[in-house]
Amino acid sequence: MEVSTVSPPAISPTEGDDLCEIDVTSVAIDSVTLLICLCGLAGNGAVLCLLQRNPATFYITNLAFANFSFLHFTVPSTLLYLLEELSCSTVVPLVFLKALFPLLLFSYNLGLYLLTFISIDQCTSILCPLWYRCRCPQRLPWVMCALLWALSIAVIVTVTSLCQSQKHEHCQVSLITMYALNLFLFAPAMVVSSTVLLIKVKCGSQQQQPKRLNIVIFLVVLFFLLFALPLSLCNFLQQLGYITVSSQVVFLLACIHSTINPFIYFLAGRCWRPCSMGSLRLSLQRVFEDPEENTAHSDDPAMDTAFPAC
């Protein structure tokens, strides 16, 4: 899967060859990627279905949707490349892959932008709790998510339109700008805010729920830096002509990050009970709902019946 341009090239066999050498390593990577994506689709789908829709969880549901979309678009592309590698023939037209790749970049960028603002938002709530509770606009989550969606769409539309033109220089500049924006604006903001969260967890005297939420956000950011950010870093360096990397590996790492997020949520709010829809929903509530909401739920007999204590 070529990531240096907007559209990855199709794999085609050498004309006249009766025999085809199958790249075992490439097939193995694609197979692992496909398996991880399927697990991630189930995990993020569970988060979207079980997490209650309210201002406190609006960012997380949007992040889960971005991760779900990235994995959703990765599955058909990986499956098609796997079939082409095994059959040594072109399975789908190149135009299909050209249409699929911008969707992958869109969902990847959207997840990056959302995660950055989630960490900044939680950092603000810790550093300025009175302002955050009393002065912060109630519609801020909807406004910010709308702006981040608009930014993601604008970036991908610009890059795609420039790369479809006949001038390669315009496409290269647009890709370098997009990756530089990820690396030098959003990633540093993510690192600084998540570091502050970790320090507050270690040194602050907070209640259990904020500590758990801060740790979850820190872990999600950490795994993003380890697994998902290399996609931007490697492609940025590749556009500058410094390195040439295997796109299969960086996409595999990005899929690992999108897949592992739901498991972080569930483990952070884990309930030592047999796995069920009720226990998974309660695990999410223990992480993302406000302490006051958790208290209200614990005082509600109907809620206690639906979601028994861990």
So where are the chain's domains?
24-289
pTM: 0.84
- pLDDT for 296: 44
- pLDDT for 204: 63
- Whether 255 contacts 40, CB under 8 Å: yes
Architecture of domain 24-289: Up-down Bundle (1.20)
pLDDT along the chain (310 residues), means of 10: 42 48 88 96 94 82 96 92 81 74 94 95 87 80 94 95 83 94 96 89 62 88 95 92 83 95 88 66 80 44 35
In whole angstroms, give the CA distance from residue 46 to residue 112: 21
- pLDDT for 127: 86
- Whether 6 contacts 102, CB under 8 Å: yes
Positive/negative CA dihedral, 218, 221, 225, 227: positive
For 275, which DSSP code?
-
- Whether 44 contacts 30, CB under 8 Å: no
Quickly count: other Cβ atoms within 10 Å of residue 159's Cβ: 23
In whole angstroms, give the CA distance from residue 272 to residue 309: 10
Q: What is the DSSP string of 28-76?
A: HHHHHHHHHHHHHHHHHHHHHHHS--STTTHHHHHHHHHHHHHHHHHHH
In 182-207, which residue ranges form alpha helices assigned H by DSSP? 187-203
Supply φ then ψ for residue 21, to 5 degrees: -90, 120
For 227, which DSSP code?
I
- pLDDT for 91: 67
- pLDDT for 67: 97
Q: For the chain, percent helix, then strand, then coil, each to nearest 5?
A: 75, 0, 25
Contacts of 155 (CB under 8 A, 6+ apart): 109, 178, 181
For 166, which DSSP code?
S
